[in-house]
Amino acid sequence: MDAAALAAFVAVTEHGSFSRAAEQLHLTQSAVSKRISTLEDLLGVTLFDRLGRTVVLTEAGRVLLPRAQQLLRDIGDSRRALANLSGQVSGTLSIATSHHIGLHRLPPVLREFIEAWPQVKLDLRFMASEAACDAVLQGDIELAIITLPLKCPLPLLAEPLWTDVLRVAVAPRHPLAMRKKITPFMLVEHPAILPESGTFTRTLIEHAFEPLQLQPHVVLSTNYLETIKMMVSVGLGWSLLPTSMLDHALASPLLTGLHVERRLGVIRHSGHTLSNAARTMLAQLHEV
């Protein structure tokens, strides 16, 4: 079975569109259609039903999908294992990271890496930490440098790198800004702006409030900490932000009775062989 045809099949499944799959694979739409037709002829089944501009999997397609994904993961793993035998640090290194880490933690690491290993092509993708975990699980990327979950699901491995202390942030004219010290009970009396429900950071914050039997009154939410900082600075509510983001645009009274910190680090798949480039990047991250 042709790996290129399987890759086209998985891409069309993920995007629900031949045209978007073609964009991802850097192919023409006709080339993707031809690969799907070749695969259907080989297997003697129809894999997609065409419904207007969208396509959906047939029963045969649903049976093939998990097997195709596993085959592609095995092929990628085999290629990396064979390439590693040369000892060269080269090829493509696929990394996912959150916007906050990409802006505040990674620049010096990436600068040093590309200067030391110019033969490596970095495929750097910005995405939510939760999506990055899924991408590692599916074998789409080798390393995810993200906010770590409270509990890392198997077969993923988490390697902590940094501790990010979260402190109270309010606008300079917010009622809490006038106080030197505040308590969690004071916080929940005011509107909060937090990351979206279900995200690793939101779960961590909620977990910290649970022993006090308190729940923040969330009026706005977004996954982008820079956007949260802006909304806090204009007085829309309070939030908990990394210390590195606090500046003159915000006030940060001392919070007593509650300590919130998150772990930032690397997620990788325990069952996948890392490329030499990924191993080198991992070693460099641990040296920071």
Does any domain span residue 55?
A: yes
Does any domain span residue 200?
A: yes
Query: Which domain covers residue 270, as residue numbers?
Result: 91-162+264-287
* pLDDT tens by residue, the chain, 288 residues: 688 888 899 889 988 888 888 888 888 989 998 999 999 998 999 999 887 777 889 999 999 998 888 888 788 777 767 666 666 777 889 999 999 999 889 999 999 999 998 989 999 999 999 999 999 988 889 999 999 998 888 899 999 999 999 999 999 999 999 898 999 999 999 999 999 999 999 999 999 999 999 999 999 999 899 999 999 999 999 999 999 999 999 999 999 999 999 999 999 998 888 888 999 999 999 887
- Residue 117 shares a structural domain with residue 204: no
- Residue 153 shares a structural domain with residue 96: yes
Does any domain span residue 43?
A: yes
- Residue 147 shares a structural domain with residue 31: no
Does any domain span residue 81?
A: no
3-state SS track over the chain: CCHHHHHHHHHHHHHCCHHHHHHHHCCCHHHHHHHHHHHHHHHCCCCEEEECCEEEECHHHHHHHHHHHHHHHHHHHHHHHHHHCCCCCCEEEEEEECHHHHHHCCHHHHHHHHHHCCCEEEEEEECCHHHHHHHHHHCCCCEEEEECCCCCCCCEEEEEEEEEEEEEEECCCCHHHHCCEECHHHHCCCEEEECCCCCHHHHHHHHHHHHHCCCCEEEEECCCHHHHHHHHHCCCCEEEEEHHHCCCCCECCEECCCCEEEEEEEEEECCCCCCHHHHHHHHHHHHC
- Residue 254 shares a structural domain with residue 270: no
Does any domain span residue 86?
A: no
- Residue 100 shares a structural domain with residue 137: yes
- The total domain count for the chain is 3
- Residue 143 shares a structural domain with residue 270: yes
